[in-house]
Chain A
Amino acid sequence: MSHHIVEVKDLHYTYPDGTAALGGVGFRITHGESVALIGANGAGKSTLLLHLNGCLIPEAGTVRMGDFPLTKKTLPHVRQTVGMVFQDPDDQLFMPTVYDDVAFGPLNLGLPPDEIEDRVMEALATVGAAHLRNRPPYRLSGGEKRAVAIASVLSMGPSILIMDEPSSNLDPKARRQLIHLLKSFEHTMIIATHDLDMVLDVCGRTMILKGGHIAADGPTEEILQNEPLLHACSLEKPLRLQGCPVCNPVRA
């Protein structure tokens, strides 16, 4: 199953204004792995994600998504392989209705109308949003928007899912539903997030980015228990792994 592999080697990127965002990032993610990408604000998470679907082209180093090295020529294939869920659903849901939006990707793939209908309804059913099909996206709640944004990439049948802060701005129930949804996926997943409790639930492997480098890469349980490491990377232990604040008050 080589087409589910994500391989990044010695990736460098500097923004046009001179900000060095990535300074030699490398990792390999295999089929079906669910990986959390965590790190402080400005550690390079979003920049890294933008490289994984070709929104940014590497300055140095290589990115390999599935069967293809990422170059300008392979971009259409890569984008079909990789489903990218953006942080702000309003950026992703640009079509007039939910249905049109979820159909946008399949239409661009040039699929026949029946197939498009099937794919759209299947994707909407997966995220539990089939009843929203004729609604305009700007009138949905935050949780509904997020669900539809995920459906809009599922409809393209990607083998790799990339998400930027999927649980941000969600109420606890919507967040819980999202976690159940993510756990049900068999895709290779890369999730950039600050929600470390969600990471505990969803991701078996965690990578920490710090100042454009990978500071740690390993099993989630080990990394999220390593307090000195987390502290050095401006992170904290997930709340569930911290002591009870009532029986065991921690000094701030």
Chain B
Amino acid sequence: MPKIESSFLDISRLDALASQRTLIHGLDPRAKIVTTLIFIFIVVSFPKHEVTALVPFTLYPVVLIALANLPPGYLFQKVLLAAPFAFFVGIFNPLLDSEVLIHLGPVGISGGWVSFASIMLRFGLTVGAALVLVATTGMNGIGAGLEKLGAPNSFAVQLTFLYRYLFVLTDEAARMVRARSLRSFGIKGTEVKVFGYMIGHLLLRTMDRAQRIHQAMLCRGFTGELRLPVPLKFSWRDMGFLAGWSSLFILMRLVNIPQWMGLLVTEVLG
């Protein structure tokens, strides 16, 4: 199953990106998590026909991508991967809402198309911001940050372990799939029955492994709380990052900057 394997190799690329050392990577995970949450919350809070006021929000991912030395093409590709979901959420809007909202010369654009564009834009912004968060912080940083922010310890531990063993589990699954295909002589697809056995087997193996891991943890003094080697420090830089971006987001929420600039230009010309 080369497809599964290669898509997981891709995750490790995200990991490699997260282990860089830049100004943004050095920020406290909590600052980045909260900023991203505020960003997503504000982007989602706009009324459904809003498009222009959303445009300035692209500033946040773009600035972070530039400062954190991330490959924009790669991230864009990842956003596209999730795009079909948003596409199908929004694609019926033009059919349901056909009242013309904007006139561009002879062409009238219906409210449905405007809200569709708005949905796609919001989708791009929020998913992009989340990806930037992962690529600058790493899943483990996010887990640690969430815990310090007050998320239950077990939740953070789950997230960290899920990420760590994703690779082991896919390896195991890939080996099973390969072993099956080597003995099924070109029969395409997997019969439901065999598939059931394989899933069941994988579950049993996973439970065995979980038990061994737990033993290994107990052997090294695990008491139920995952401790971090370096206590996170929330410095004035993190505070600045959080406060600066948040106030900018709020400003962009309250003032439609493109419209305002447009008015300014027409006034000056007039």
The CA of A193 and the CA of B188, in the complex, are separated in Å by 42
A156 at the interface (CB under 8 A from B): yes
Contact indicator B12/A96 (Cβ below 8 Å): no
- Is the Cβ of A94 less than 8 Å from the Cβ of B163? no
Judge whether A55 and B219 touch: CB under 8 Å. Answer: yes
Candidate in B15, B165, B218 with the most chain A CB atoms within 10 angstroms: B218
Task: Check if A55 sits within 8 Å of B218, measured CB to CB.
Answer: yes
Mask of A91-119 contacts with B, CB within 8 angstroms, 1/0: 11011110110011101110001001000
A156 near B220: Cβ-Cβ < 8 Å: yes
Cα distance A138–B11 when bound, in Å?
Answer: 12
Most buried by B among A86, A94, A134, A156: A94
Given A103-B229, A108-B227, A136-B15, the answer on whether A90 and B168 have CB atoms closer than 8 Å is: yes
For residue A37, give the distance in angstroms from its CB to the closest CB of chain B.
18
In chain A, positions 55-82 with a C-beta closer than 8 Å to chain B are 55, 76, 79-80, 82
B209 CB-CB contact with A under 8 Å: yes
In this complex, how many residues of chain A approach chain B with their Cβ under 8 Å: the count is 37
Q: Determine whether the beta carbon of A109 is less than 8 Å from that of B221.
A: yes
Chain A residues lying within 8 Å of B223, measured Cβ to Cβ, are 108
Q: How far is the CA of A120 from the CA of B230 in the complex (A)?
A: 13
Give me the 7 closest cross-chain CB pairs, A-B, nearest first.
A108-B221, A96-B140, A105-B220, A107-B227, A91-B212, A103-B229, A138-B167
Contact of B216 among A82, A91, A137 (CB under 8 A): A91
Confirm or deny: A190 has a beta carbon within 8 angstroms of a beta carbon on chain B. no
Q: Within 8 Å CB of A96, what residues of B?
A: 138-140, 160, 163-164
Cβ proximity bits B231-266 to A, threshold 8 Å, 1 near / 0 not: 100000000000000000000000000000000000
What's the minimum C-beta distance from A93 to chain B, rounded to whole angstroms?
9
Chain A, Cβ-Cβ closest to B163: A96
**For chains A and B in complex, what number of residue pairs have CB atoms within 8 angstroms?**
80
Interface residues of A (CB under 8 A from B): 50, 53-55, 76, 79-80, 82, 84, 86, 88, 90-92, 94-97, 99-100, 103-105, 107-109, 113, 116, 120, 134, 136-139, 152-153, 156
B67 interfacial contact with A, CB 8 Å: no
Q: List 20 A-B contacts (CB under 8 A).
A: A55-B218, A79-B219, A79-B221, A82-B219, A84-B219, A90-B168, A90-B209, A91-B213, A91-B215, A91-B216, A94-B165, A96-B138, A107-B229, A108-B220, A108-B227, A116-B229, A138-B164, A138-B168, A156-B220, A156-B221
List B195-227 residues whose CB lies under 8 Å from chain A. Answer: 209, 212-213, 215-223, 227
Inter-chain CA distance A164–B15, complex, in Å, is: 31
CA distance A25 to B220 in the complex (A): 26
B22 at the interface (CB under 8 A from A): no
A105 touches B221 (CB 8 A): yes
> What 18 new A-B contacts, CB under 8 Å, besides A54-B218, A79-B220, A82-B219?
A55-B215, A55-B219, A76-B221, A86-B215, A88-B212, A90-B209, A91-B215, A91-B216, A100-B229, A104-B217, A120-B229, A136-B15, A137-B164, A138-B167, A139-B12, A152-B220, A153-B219, A153-B220
Q: A92–B216 contact, CB under 8 A?
A: yes
When distances are taken between beta carbons in the complex, the residues of chain B under 8 Å from A95 are 160, 164
Chain B residues with Cβ under 8 A from A136's Cβ? 12, 15, 164
A99 partner residues in chain B, CB cutoff 8 A: 229
A131 to B126, CA, bound (A): 37
**Residue from A76, A116, A136, A153 whose CB has the most chain B CB atoms within 10 Å:** A136
B19 at the interface (CB under 8 A from A): yes
Q: Are B19 and A94 neighbours in the complex by a CB distance under 8 Å?
A: no
- In contact, B221 and A86 (Cβ under 8 angstroms): no
Shortest CB distance B229–A (Å):
4
Known: A107-B227, A107-B229, A116-B229. A94 touches B216 (CB 8 A): yes
Please, which residues of chain A bring their CB within 8 A of the CB of B219? 53, 55, 79, 82, 84, 153
Instruction: List the B side residues contacting A88 at CB < 8 Å.
Output: 212
B74 interfacial by beta-carbon distance below 8 Å: no
Nearest CB on B from A136, distance (A)? 7
